[in-house]
A and B are shown apart, each in its own frame.
Chain A
Amino acid sequence: MPTDPVIEVRNVTKTFAGVRALDDVDFTLNRGEIHALVGENGAGKSTLIKVLTGIHSPDVGRISRNGRISTIYQEVNLVPLMSVAANLFLGREPRNRFGLIDRVRRDAEAAELLTSYGITADVRSPLGTLAVGEQQMVALARAVAADAEVVIMDEPTSSLEPREVETLLEVVHKLHEAGIAIIYVSHRMDELYRICDTVTVLRDGRNVHNGPLKELPRIELVSLMLGRSVNEIQKHGTTAFGEDHHADAQPVLEALDLTSKPRINGINVAIRPGEVVGLAGLLGSGRTETAKAIIGALPLDRGTVLVAGKPVPHNVKAATKAGISMLAEDRKTEGIIPNLSVRENIVLAALPRLSRFGVTSRIRQDRIVDTFVKRLRIKVSSPEQKVAELSGGNQQKVLLARWLCTEPRILLLDEPTRGIDVGAKAEVQALIDELAREGLAVLLISSELDELLDGADRLVVLRDGEVAGELEEAQLTREHVLTAIAAEVMDDADSH
């Protein structure tokens, strides 16, 4: 392919609050190509997109743009209450001779434009009345109609139905034929290999691979994306997980046929007391959704959750009462209340049990907090210290303590070691191990393969919202997991 760059990024570095989101990144987008941009969460994809579109300016480095860029985000960024036509033409409406918006012409042009995208909805109806896939298509049409030469698509299919995905990919193909360059961000291997010419893999803010996509076996691509943990853990020895904690008891938790379209579809998970079951899979494969479905925080199309054989009503309160607790992925938005003290944060979930007639016993609170601060080795100057002042690892322990003092039987941990330093990571891992040995059933979600391989007794591998495989203890190797995640290893093996 002749090189004719529309976007060129050279040696770009961008730092947020001391964290390098992008580290000396090079990136070239040639005219007319479909370029896959992949990487795990936090690899720097969003930052790169924001630097490309000019929302962020880089600390160091050079960017040259030779064309209009339009971006389509994962969530439809249009105005649901405004009409489809108004959304399409917002900011460049056709005018009549008095300079007023010519609505008749606008609607006619909008209808014509959308027909070419296979949408037949009434363009005068509010955008929000359209299906999500159609909304995404309107966003796409808007981007292209603005004479964009580069279209950036950030996970455009993550909330679409399979049929809608097909239509979208067809449109992408049309754009490609019209000579528009596309940056396509997705975790869905099938889509990437179907439409993309070249790929850039980001990991930890660095560009770790550049090149034609078709020549790169899937399993290698997955390994490139996840690779970080290998090096890191090799440097620091093994993880802090101990060896197997087993029990032949009946499962304390059984999740049957959990389905919430389009995120997850027919997922089954069972955990015995004392067992750590890992959920593996790429970002967007439905790991977090599965945990949320189990605790009742995700509306289900169908599926049941059984605790000790008894069905649990599908809501968080009932699930908590049945003994399920969840440590959410994002500490900041879904857990920690930074301005409250360590004590207040820990007892929050247990308050109803510590209260009598709505009055809480401070003595009992102090006793519980004291126990957990010691047991989890939380480093605080005093229980009254603000949680915001603690390190990430200690914040995570505070959250863990919060759920432990509700005396759960099942603990759902979503990325429990994300964003905390290596030493604290080891401590949290050891703690998980210890809790399982005491008889807790643990569901462990992690993007770090080694954490799963070492920490889990059994792995459930998810792909595109479905269970792609279950690995028993004997099968817990990198290769098996990567194979299950990448799915088409057989094809690759055949062709190489």
Chain B
Amino acid sequence: MMTTLTAATRAKVLQRQGAAVALVLMVAVSWLVFPRFGSLDNVRDLALQGSFLAVIALGMTFVIITGGIDLSVGSLYALGGVLAAWGSQHGFLVALTLPLLVCGAIGLINGLLIARTNMAPFIVTLASLLFARGLLLAITDEGANTYQIAPDSAFVELGRGTVAGFGYPIFIAVALCVLGGALLNRTGFGQNVFATGGAEQSAILMGVPVARTKITVYTMSGTLAGLAGALTAAYLQSGVTVIGVGTELDAIAVVVIGGTLLTGGMGTVLGTVIGVGLIKVIQNVINQIGTLDSNYQSVVSGVFLLVVVVLQRILRR
């Protein structure tokens, strides 16, 4: 790795600021064009919608910075929701911890397989995607059996409770992202994450516990996906089985739009949060337009992602 990286530095600045600039522009224009966009209700709704994805994408950010990928999070997200809904009949604690433990365990297995046997993250997590989705369908009679959460339970409060109209999940997501940012930038573990993704062989020679780092990030990613599922279930008051299909791709998209290098070694939590904001604002605006088919959300997100990745490529030269 003898190349000089001035181009990459430029790319870094441009990518991160690029997403931020795009977000600011989108927000400003939407505010002017759609009177309802800036309304407190809409902002609250936007933030709430974004918070679930942000929790998943936070874990994905760590995974991608180590140079990996986690395709299992969409399925784990759905599985977490169902487990939380099922667990809610045994009380708040079970409803919250069961999805975290199960999804965390699946993440741990992902990490162990990837770090210890050197299997490709793509394959391992693709297997868990199928595994978790299958498990989910099995425990819900192929989705026919939707577990409901009692509306007056404390667990529902976790998803629906508000402070000044802003839902609890928003605060949870913000708190986790702040913690995640500190973890990434201010701890030895965070440095190991960057080193692992930046130059794995060098990292090993520098004494970085590469295997342990990988295992940790996949466990984190699985746990966070499970938590996002639990929060969603609490919000929806039931374990909806059909959610989370393709969510792993949304998570990857927002992480990359946020300036994290898909090849690893560079990235920020703030960028991911901005990426989430951008995607959610685009969705929101398309909903505001009303006449536009909601499928155009994906079209716009896709184009945006492509632009970012092409920029990464060009600016790295």
Contacts and interface: CB of A to CB of B under 8 A. Distances in A.
B198 A71 contact: no
A129 B6 contact: yes
A100 interface: yes
Contacts of B203: 79
Dominant secondary structure of chain A at its interface with chain B: loop
28 contacts: A73-B205, A75-B2, A76-B2, A76-B202, A77-B201, A77-B202, A78-B202, A79-B202, A79-B203, A79-B265, A80-B3, A80-B265, A81-B8, A81-B194, A81-B199, A81-B265, A82-B191, A82-B198, A86-B191, A90-B208, A91-B188, A91-B207, A100-B182, A100-B186, A101-B185, A101-B190, A128-B8, A159-B2
Contacts of A90: 191, 195, 206, 208
Nearest to B186: A100
Contact of A129 (B9, B185, B197): B9
A130 B2 CA distance: 9
A103 interface: yes
B194 A86 contact: yes
B106 interface: no
Q: Which of B198, B201, B261 has the most CB of A within 10 A?
A: B198
B198 A79 contact: yes
Contacts of B145: none
Nearest to A142: B206
B5 interface: yes
B2 to A, nearest CB: 5
A44 B197 CA distance: 31
A132 interface: yes
A477 to B, nearest CB: 39
Interface in B167-221: 182, 185-188, 190-191, 194-195, 197-199, 201-203, 205-208
Dominant secondary structure of chain B at its interface with chain A: helix
B162 to A, nearest CB: 31
A115 B139 CA distance: 63
Interface residues of B, number: 30
B291 interface: no
Contacts of A125: 9
Contacts of B199: 77-81
A469 interface: no
A93 interface: yes
A126 B206 CA distance: 17
Contacts of B188: 91, 93, 101
Contacts of B186: 100-101, 103
Nearest to A73: B205
A394 interface: no
Contact of A126 (B8, B182, B195): B8
Contacts of A132: 2
Interface in B1-23: 1-6, 8-9
Given A82-B198, A128-B1, A77 B187 contact: no
Nearest to B263: A81
Contacts of B190: 101
B114 interface: no
B194 A128 contact: no
Contacts of B1: 75-76, 78, 80, 128
B198 A129 contact: no
Q: Which of A71, A75, A126 has the most CB of B within 10 A?
A: A126
B194 A129 contact: no
Contacts, number: 88
A135 interface: yes
Interface residues of A, number: 28
A128 B4 contact: yes
B192 to A, nearest CB: 8
The 3 closest A-B pairs by CB, nearest first: A128-B5, A79-B198, A81-B265
A131 interface: yes
B271 to A, nearest CB: 15
B258 to A, nearest CB: 16
A131 B3 CA distance: 8
Interface string A206-225: 00000000000000000000
A77 B206 contact: yes
A125 B241 CA distance: 47
A126 B2 contact: no
A126 B261 CA distance: 14
A82 B194 contact: yes
B256 interface: no
Contacts of B3: 80, 128
Contact of B206 (A80, A81, A91, A99): A91
A75 B208 CA distance: 18
B208 A91 contact: yes
A82 B196 CA distance: 11
Contact of A80 (B5, B187, B201): B5
A101 B194 CA distance: 14
A126 B191 contact: no
A50 to B, nearest CB: 11
Contacts of B8: 81, 126, 128
Interface in A49-90: 71, 73, 75-82, 86, 90
Contacts of B201: 77
Interface string A98-120: 01110100000000000000000
Contact of B5 (A78, A86, A103, A126): A126
A79 B2 contact: no
A294 B187 CA distance: 50
